[in-house]
Structure 1
Amino acid sequence: MFTYRGETFRVVDGQVHVWDASPHNQAIPDGELYATDLLRRHRELDGVGVPRHEAERVSEESLLRDVFDTGYVDRAVLQPVVLGDLFVLGFSPLEWHAEMAEWMPGRFVLSGELDPEGGQPGARGLVARVRRHDLRGITLCETRRPTGQQPLGEPWLRRVLARCAEAGADVVHVGVGPSTRPAPWRRDEPDPLPPGRRRPRVPRWAEPLQSGSMLPVRRAAARIAPPGFDPAQLRTLASDLPEVSFVLGAGCLPGQQLCALADLPNVYVLLTEILPWMGSTDFAHAFGGLLRAFGAQRLLFGSGYPMVRPGRLVRELAAYRFPPELIHRCPRWDTAAVRAVLGGNAARLYRIGGLPAAASVAAAGA
């Protein structure tokens, strides 16, 4: 429970991960590169004072200390991301989340994952997992390297999501997951070297070799494909499944395309990807646009932990004020809106007991 200026807020963190990117779990070289990019962005956003081993592998102790024991977060939604081609035991699989939920009962809401590389055969058993683990949502990663891609217009996908909704997982997360994309203000430039020094080169004897040959296989592996999908396919899918709530990442589409989906009443936006830059003009424009299009009743708070610890984001969002030059163009951001975004909307979507659901905050978006 979080208290600010005499007001009490119940907070639901809509995006938390329990991952293992430590060296013993990396499928070299691609897993190593992904983990390196992940740690680089973590240092940019919230890496001050966090030991490297805690950023690489989330433990029960660090999760309790950083998320719950601070007194800011009451519930957390665990988002799975397997990345089986990059990590030997999986990056953030559902099985780990289920174990964590057993160790700390009453703290988490669990989601499953529909892996795009599995296609329709990979969806077998998904409804059974929804019932077994009491899943409230399904994470749909529509694009996955190296070859996996799942178009949203497939007829079988609509049938699978409808059966999952009947079993209890009636929230679908699209474009929600850990991102290793650089921060907006950074450019992809090489690190400067002192004059007269050349960049070190890996010796040939250290090159990994293909089995049965002497050809080196070291290469620059690409990052995880950025989130993105066809808005027209999502519009059709959301219209065909009105009983399903679709939660989109704030960075999964350009701002105009994302706001154009606001006319669909069952589409929500998770603010994880823009919250670390509160205080900047870019955030004010992006947040104001989403608030104007979706209203406070369809925006969700998320930290992306362990990428960013939630305490700072909760404090800054509760105290946020639009810049004077934009305040006349942005909706009101008052106590009712803060209460809805921090936890009320998520409590309603995920059917979380013990938290006041935001039934209506239309006045906040007026």
Structure 2
Amino acid sequence: MFGIASERYVVVDAQVHAWDGSPHNQAGPSGEAFVAELYRRHRLLDRVPRPLPADEFARVTEAGLSADVLDGCVDRAVLQPVSLDDLFVLGFSPTAWHAELAEQLPGRFVLTGELDPGLGSAGARGLAARVRNGDLRGLHLAPTRRPGGWLGLGEAWLRRVLARCEQSGATVAHLGVGPSAPRGPGCPDWATPPPAGGAAMATGPRWPQWAHPVRAGSALPVRARAARSAARTGFDPAELRELARALPRVQFVLGAGCLPTAQLYRLARLPNVHVLLTDLLAGLRVRPLEAARALGSLLEAFGGHRLLFGSGYPLVRPDRLVEEFVTFRYPEVLRGEFPEIDHATRQAILGGNAARLYRISLPSWMAVPPLARHPGAGS
């Protein structure tokens, strides 16, 4: 719990990763490049008091989670899985590791599952049973991750899978959330931190070189259609609108920087679409004016009851983000454009909204409005 003056806040971090990107788990140079890019972003976004050492960042441990997240201001954390088995021998951040952490630190974590776009409908077999057995309360969908894997949100099988998983307990679906979420054209500048010193990155690609996929023990041939597929990023907002209307009981959570800002605002018309502020809160430090304007516009479009706090740990340690958000005031040039954020809205964003989505009990003094539903959706 975080407190300042007479105000109290229950904090639910809706995006935490427990990954292993250490050298022994990297399946070739692409895994190394992926971790190096994440660490570059960490050094830009989390500079105070000092960045994590490279080895501690590459491999998140129980001790690190306890010291940086749970022993700070975070009451509950939602663990987001990212397998990336093309880049890492044992997977980057699979759900099985999260389940072990939840057993070691009971009552502190919420578990979510993952739907891999590279496996298609075959990879979703038995997913509803895994949701029930593992008490998974959400699913992470990366619409694209590798050249051979594109997940169209208009697929009929995806609609059936999400409906079955919702009935089994996974009522939240994450899109464009995670350290590997690609940025499509037109996405806001604050969503991607600039290279150190403001100069363009002169050496190495931003993301892994998919032209040379490597698995443990064998080098796979280059995929023939890699160049064509690699150009596709993000997801189609029109397909998301149709999916959200067809599944009103599923709560869709989007990354604040996953779409061009104007497209994201239009999705606010759907009452089961929410926004995770991880990228935006980190951007308040590197591009304060642009990120503050985006925050005010998101509050106008979605309201305070559909925005969620997330740190992306270990990309950014949550304590600083919580303190900066609680004390946040709009820059002077924006104060006539947006009203200041009140205590109830900050309370909802920091913990109340995520607690409602993930069915986390809250203290009696913290009242949060119920989820909005489509007309005729039923109870």
TM-score by length of 2: 0.84
Structure 2 counterpart of 1:183: 193
Deviations 1:62-86 (Å, cap 9, x if unpaired)? 000000112x100000000000101
Closer, same or farther: CA 82–133 of 1 in aligned 2, 3 Å: same
**CA distance in 2: counterparts of 1:156 and 1:37, whole angstroms:** 34
The unaligned stretches of length 5 or more in structure 1 are 192-210, 213-220
Structure 2 counterpart of 1:288: 296
Structure 1 residue 33 displacement after superposition: 1.1
**CA distance in 2: counterparts of 1:241 and 1:39, whole angstroms:** 37
Structure 2 counterpart of 1:359: 369
> Are 1:335 and 2:343 counterparts?
yes
Tell me which moved more, 151-160 or 284-293. 284-293
Closer, same or farther: CA 146–361 of 1 in aligned 2, 3 Å: closer
Code of the aligned partner of 2:101:
M
> Are 1:5 and 2:9 counterparts?
no
Closer, same or farther: CA 13–227 of 1 in aligned 2, 3 Å: farther
Structure 2 counterpart of 1:28: 28
Closer, same or farther: CA 100–171 of 1 in aligned 2, 3 Å: same
Structure 1 residue 324 displacement after superposition: 2.1
Name the larger-Rg structure.
1
Tell me which moved more, 37-46 or 92-101. 37-46
Structure 1 residue 152 displacement after superposition: 0.2
Structure 2 counterpart of 1:315: 323
> Are 1:264 and 2:270 counterparts?
yes
Structure 1 contact 84–91 (Cα < 8 Å) conserved: yes
SS in 1 for 2:324: helix
SS in 2 for 1:251: coil
Structure 1 counterpart of 2:307: 299
Structure 1 residue 258 displacement after superposition: 0.5
**CA distance in 1: counterparts of 2:371 and 2:128, whole angstroms:** 33
SS in 1 for 2:114: strand
**CA distance in 1: counterparts of 2:370 and 2:345, whole angstroms:** 10
Deviations 1:257-281 (Å, cap 9, x if unpaired)? 0011000000000000111122510
Deviations 1:287-306 (Å, cap 9, x if unpaired)? 11111110111000000000
Number of residue pairs matched by the alignment: 333
Question: For the aligned residues, what is the CA RMSD?
Answer: 2.3
**CA distance in 2: counterparts of 1:171 and 1:189, whole angstroms:** 36
**CA distance in 2: counterparts of 1:99 and 1:226, whole angstroms:** 35
Query: What percentage of residue pairs aligned between the two structures are identical?
Result: 59
**CA distance in 2: counterparts of 1:68 and 1:142, whole angstroms:** 31
Deviations 1:34-77 (Å, cap 9, x if unpaired)? 1111111111111524221110000000000000112x100000
> Deviating runs (4+, > 2 A) in structure 1?
179-182, 184-189, 224-227, 354-357
**CA distance in 2: counterparts of 1:18 and 1:227, whole angstroms:** 25
> Are 1:67 and 2:77 counterparts?
no
Closer, same or farther: CA 23–315 of 1 in aligned 2, 3 Å: same
SS in 1 for 2:65: helix
Code of the aligned partner of 1:309:
R
Code of the aligned partner of 1:319:
T
Structure 2 contact 98–111 (Cα < 8 Å) conserved: yes
Structure 1 residue 357 displacement after superposition: 5.1
The unaligned stretches of length 5 or more in structure 2 are 184-191, 204-217, 220-226, 373-379
Structure 1 contact 97–110 (Cα < 8 Å) conserved: yes
Closer, same or farther: CA 225–102 of 1 in aligned 2, 3 Å: farther
SS in 2 for 1:274: helix
Structure 2 contact 356–371 (Cα < 8 Å) conserved: no
Structure 2 counterpart of 1:242: 248
TM-score by length of 1: 0.86
Structure 2 contact 137–171 (Cα < 8 Å) conserved: yes
Structure 2 contact 26–89 (Cα < 8 Å) conserved: yes
Code of the aligned partner of 1:288:
G
Structure 1 contact 292–331 (Cα < 8 Å) conserved: no
Structure 1 contact 347–357 (Cα < 8 Å) conserved: no
Deviations 1:195-232 (Å, cap 9, x if unpaired)? xxxxxxxxxxxxxxxx99xxxxxxxx9xx989611000
SS in 2 for 1:273: helix
Code of the aligned partner of 1:100:
L
**CA distance in 1: counterparts of 2:51 and 2:249, whole angstroms:** 44
**CA distance in 2: counterparts of 1:357 and 1:133, whole angstroms:** 29
